[in-house]
Structure 1
Amino acid sequence: MTQQAMPALANALLQAHHNREALDAAAWPLPDASEIVAVQHAVAETLDAHPARTWKSGGPARDPQRLGHSPLPSSRMQQARAAESLEVCGLWLANGGAEAEIAFRIGRQVDDELAAGLDQAAALALCDAMAISIELTASRWREGSAAPDSLRQADLQSHAALLLGPWLPLQPKRDWSTQACQICIGDAEPVRRVGSHSLIDPAWLLPHWLRFACREGRTVPAGTVVTTGSWTGNLPLRPGQLVAISFAGLGELSARA
């Protein structure tokens, strides 16, 4: 997308990223669904200078109409090796937060024709690995989570960075409804949850996300990563704090913001 063709809202959000100066939501008209998609792609692809290979997807219920999807800048993704703790100091974490999630990696290129016929099992079969993940969030809006939903959607759904644990084999028969997880930030008491993902099985969204990501002739390249929504809610995070997550049977991951 050329600078001339870039939506004004995308330009403003990019300036906010570069200058670390939040925008006033009241000064902007609310974008419609097609404008949100255009802004998301313009921001993510400009920050990375190439089409997105990292995504976030999720929603409050098993309703495709209530799912949100956003491309992310892959330059803001890090992956840990074994028990390594990540360092992500220097991020702009205005209205910052952290979430414990599960991510999947696509093992082959997917186009709109292939995506059109997928169910959950077929979409999961296109993946070649999964990982526990921490999504760090931040808002380019002064109002943070109080900004209108459409503006927060356009702002890459308040994304700051994606942190991955080591890749794990897929477990198609895993009972996610009994999955225990925990997140701890700084000196706060750990937040523990069991079977708390809003979709019960995070892989449920994979076919819906792939159809969205392949719209308008786009393709999802092999190696693309999608993180699939929070198990613990979005908990406040300040620069300098340590965030640590664990998923029973899947491992642990920590990072200092």
Structure 2
Amino acid sequence: MCNQLIDAHIHLDMYEEPDRSRLIQELGNSSVEALISVSNNLASSYRQLELAQLDSRIKPAIGYHPEQALPEEEELQSILQLIDDKRNQIIAIGEVGLPYYLRQETPGLELKPYVELLERFIQKSAAYDLPIVLHAVYEDAEVACDLLEKHQVTHAHFHWFKGSDRVLERILSNGYVVSVTPDVTYKPKIHRIVKQTPLSQLMVETDGPWPFEGRFTGEMTSPAMMHDSVQSIAELKGIELGETYRQLYETTKAFYRIKA
């Protein structure tokens, strides 16, 4: 059985160096072929590019994570310029999106500037035909869909998606993809998403080093955990395990245009 996997979303630069080195060394033993390594800000974007130079399995994405204060204009311009300069070296634009959780912590936070920021990244995605990695959950996903449709972007990845059946239906009808983390092994709301999403639009990720509960409590988040995710997906969808591996792998490889 072929059990190759691609981690569709990981923050590789956020691991401590000894942990990151061990994680990379163990990729082969875990049958993990590639890591889509997303950025949080300008410094993070530069770091992803550096890591990708060290190991071809690391596929860098450039962006600005929305769950933080807006970037200063100088930093934003530098990130956008970096996308221009490195468009042939990066796998995607990301992580970008809208600050759902920050708004829960900071009532009254103005959303409009974040929407405008997201639109600028979506415009880059459209200009260079690059996939875009989105942090857009619940009602924020609808705002993201509005912008994607406005700029006719079709290669959109809603990472660790959470939201209503109606929003999920819109995402899937537009041909976008969603991904699930190891919490698919223990969270019923993620089970519902998996059951409704065809494998041709589903990917697995870790969002590492974000920690998980259940059987993973106390463990450093590792791409090897995705094997448990695939097992759960196969059971939820009633599909043979080997076929589940194959389709998840092919979906991710095709979406991110990873060559053999």
TM-score under structure 1 normalisation?
A: 0.28
Higher relative contact order (CA 8 A, sep 6+): 1
TM-score under structure 2 normalisation?
A: 0.28
- Judging by fraction of residues, say which structure has more strand: 1
- Judging by fraction of residues, say which structure has more helix: 2
